[in-house]
Amino acid sequence: MILRPLDEKGLTLTEVTIVAAIGTLVLLGMGGFYLQSQATWLDGSAQSLTQREVTLVTQAIVDDVRQSHDAQVTASPDATHHDLALYLVSGGGLPFYHYWWSATDSLVHGGSAPGAANDHAMMQSPVEKFVVAKTGTMVRVSLQARAATGQRVEFSGSARMRN
């Protein structure tokens, strides 16, 4: 063992190595915490955006149902995806608005008719289920969409036709 004089200043290579290793561990821990926090925030944000979309689409449909006098529901193309046609008068005429699920983009669309000039996708998140049920003057809409992170978001609403 070599003794240093008391007036000698500085660090040995061993001390520098130990401090560098401890500093690296602290930085890796903080970096991992930051990355995990960022991933959690992104998951929550994506799910929140999809929830807002599903809520807005459902609310738009419910608002139009309340203005309607009659509604026609057809399965299109299967039992988990429907077409909803809303009428201002009973027993005839053209519907004033349609809501449907499009197999080409897996989105809910709205407009005067599928393929019409005012046909537009009402949301950006893919929809797995768009189920509409009509019982008398009540219409119930259920949507299940998938957020960008893969989480499922479900929402439903119902309204009575009042026109």
Greatest CA span in the chain, whole angstroms? 106
Instruction: Give per-residue pLDDT as tens, 77-129.
Output: 888 999 999 998 876 678 889 999 998 999 999 998 887 887 899 999 999 99
In this predicted structure, what is the pLDDT of residue 5? Answer: 63
> Can you tell me the mean pLDDT for 155-160?
91
pTM: 0.74
Lowest mean pLDDT among 7-11, 98-102, 145-149, 155-159: 7-11
CB 151 within 8 A of CB 43: yes
d(CA 52, CA 46): 10
Give the single-character DSSP code of 92: S
The answer to whether 131 and 148 have CB atoms below 8 angstroms apart is: no
State mean pLDDT over 7-36: 89
Alpha-carbon distances, residue 43 vs 40, 50, 55, 108 (angstroms): 5, 11, 18, 23
Tell me, what's the pLDDT at 56? 92
Residue 131 is predicted with a pLDDT of 94
- Note the pLDDT tens digit of each residue in 26-83: 999 999 999 998 888 888 888 889 999 999 999 999 999 999 999 999 998 888 999 9
